Amino acid sequence: METTQNTAQLVKWTIDTMHSEVLFKVKHLVISTVTGSFKSFTGSASFKEGSLEGADINFSIDVNSVDTNQAQRDGHLKSGDFFDAENYPTIDFQSTSFTQKDDENYTLVGDLTIKGVTKQVEINAEYGGTEKDAYGNQKIGFEVTGTINRKEFGLTYNAITETGGLAIGENIKLIANIQLQKS
What ranges do the domains of the chain cover? 10-182
Work out the mean pLDDT of the chain and round it to a whole number: 89
| Domain 10-182 class, CATH top level | mainly beta
Predicted TM-score (pTM) above 0.95: no
For the stretch 144-154, pLDDT in tens is 999 999 999 98
- Give the mean pLDDT of 21-39: 87
pLDDT of residue 50: 79
Q: Which residue has the higher pLDDT, 17 or 155?
A: 17
Q: How far, in Å, CA of 58 to CA of 78, rounded?
A: 23
47: pLDDT confidence band, cut at 50, 70 and 90? very high
pLDDT tops 90 at residue 3? no
Bridge partner residues of 95 (DSSP): 110
CB 42 within 8 A of CB 90: no
Residues 56-101: tens digit of each pLDDT: 999 999 999 999 999 999 999 999 999 999 999 999 999 999 999 9
Mean pLDDT over 6-11 rounds to 75
Q: Closest Cα to residue 181, out of 123, 146, 145, 134? A: 134
